[in-house]
Amino acid sequence: MMKRRLVFSTFLALGCALPLLIDAVPRVFAQQGRVDPAIYSGLRWRSIGPFRGGRVNGVSGVPGQPNTFYFGSVGGGVWKTTNAGRTWNPIFDSQPIASIGAIGVAPSNPNVVYVGTGEADMRSQISYGNGMYKSTDAGKTWTHIGLDNTRQIGRVLVDPQNPDVVFVAALGHVYGANPDRGVYRTRDGGATWQKVLFKGNDVGAIDLNFDPSTSQTIYASLWNTRRPPWSIYPPSYGPGSGLYKSTDGG
């Protein structure tokens, strides 16, 4: 969670300092791969709110729109800014679920936004979701598109070239065995889903990523974890956890 928050803040800070970075590019290459500290010496961390937004696990920028960002609060729905964080608007309040685990904006069509509900941050307080949602108008309206029983979703990954191809990492029920764990894929924008990676009722999926050179190569992180009622932070390294790879689009 903290890593994602830091990455989000860094993106915003870099956006404000873009002219400085462009001017400094030649100096970077001149030092044989070393980054000149002068490039980032003027950057400072700051909170950009909203101050009642709460904990955040899901964050996404928008390709081609450097001032537009979405974030999903673990108990407060989805929020959007179009001015690099100066103001934020809640855009998910009309839906029955407030816990957000992941957000994916289609790189080839920024109007298409996918939201996976149910935070997947295993901790003392955790809320569950009811599957996937989709917007085709940049968050103005939403449609529930299935995976109701996945409970907690850790990642939503949209194909860079095709907004209808989406992968979802479902952690599953945090308190018990759950057959809806694993990695899911849709090729029709969420009308149907296929489970493409499953290693048992105790092993969920927590993260996904494409190879930068081809979306046919996908990496998935599986996690065997459980939150029993008698322990807040139990061991979370059960059998089946690990990294998996597909070279044929899942």
pLDDT tens sequence across 135-170: 999 999 999 999 999 999 999 999 999 999 999 999
Cα 80 to Cα 232: distance, rounded to the nearest angstrom: 32
Q: What pLDDT sits at residue 54?
A: 78
Gap between the terminal Cα atoms of the chain = 26
Check whether 224 has a pLDDT greater than 70.
yes
- Which carries the bigger pLDDT value, residue 64 or residue 18? 64
- Asked whether 147 and 193 are in contact (CB, 8 A), the reply is yes
Q: What single letter denotes the amino acid at residue 64?
A: G
The C-alpha R_g of the chain, in whole angstroms, comes to 19
Cα 250 to Cα 38, 41, 202, 245, distances in angstroms: 43, 42, 21, 8
Q: Does residue 31 carry a pLDDT above 70?
A: no
Residue pair 172/222 in contact by the 8 Å Cβ criterion: no
Map tokens 């010496």 to a residue: 41
Predicted local distance difference test score (pLDDT) of residue 32: 56
Distance in angstroms (rounded) separating the CA atoms of residues 109 and 138: 9
Task: Confirm if 4 and 56 have CB atoms less than 8 A apart.
Answer: yes
Average pLDDT over the chain, rounded to whole?
87
Instruction: Compute the average pLDDT of residues 63-89.
Output: 95
Q: Give pLDDT, residue 102.
A: 98
What is the reported pLDDT for 97? 96
Task: Please report the pLDDT score of residue 120 as a whole number.
Answer: 93
- Supply the pTM of this predicted model: 0.83
Which tops the pLDDT comparison, 106 or 6? 106
